Amino acid sequence: MRIAIASDHAAIDLKAALADWLRDAGHDVAYLGPDSGASVDYPDYGYKLAAAIADGSAERGIALCGSGIGISIAVNRNPAARCALVSEPLSATLAREHNDANVIAMGARLIGIEMAKACVTAFLATEFGGDRHQRRVDKLTAPQI
């Protein structure tokens, strides 16, 4: 699978560990930065990740920052991206099954590497449930207010 991964400076170590782990599992990983721990602005990297989803260069995305909150908001500014903040595998599973999430966000200051791997595993293994969920997902992309 083609997976894009991006973070801010707070999540650089978690991002590197997940990227290596995903590559070792045979995935094509687009490492969207940053490359150092120097302070950066999470919206820049959230927008970059969302663009990779929107243009089709990545099928799924992993967004990381200190809490996961800020970068998830940035990713969700792009209508092609459906980013869910997760902290355990059930949320990652439901994000895919019910919401057709194509990006998950996690907080590096709140989650350990093993739990992050469990979330990513669930996220990548779960298919969208379709059916009654599809009309709701459609409304996420094209709100009818």
For residues 79 and 26, give the distance between their C-alpha atoms in angstroms, rounded to a whole number: 29
* Residue in 27, 65, 83, 119 annotated catalytic: 65
Q: How many helices (H) and strands (E) does the chain have?
A: 6, 5
Residue 9 known to be catalytic? no
Cis (ω within 30 of 0) for the bond into 34?
A: yes
Residue 133 known to be catalytic? no
* Residue in 9, 27, 98, 119 annotated catalytic: 98
Structural contact between residues 62 and 122, judged by C-beta atoms closer than 8 angstroms: no
Helices (H), the chain: 12-24, 42-54, 69-75, 89-99, 113-125, 132-141
Helix 113-125 / helix 89-99 crossing angle, nearest 10 deg = 20
Active site residues: 65, 98
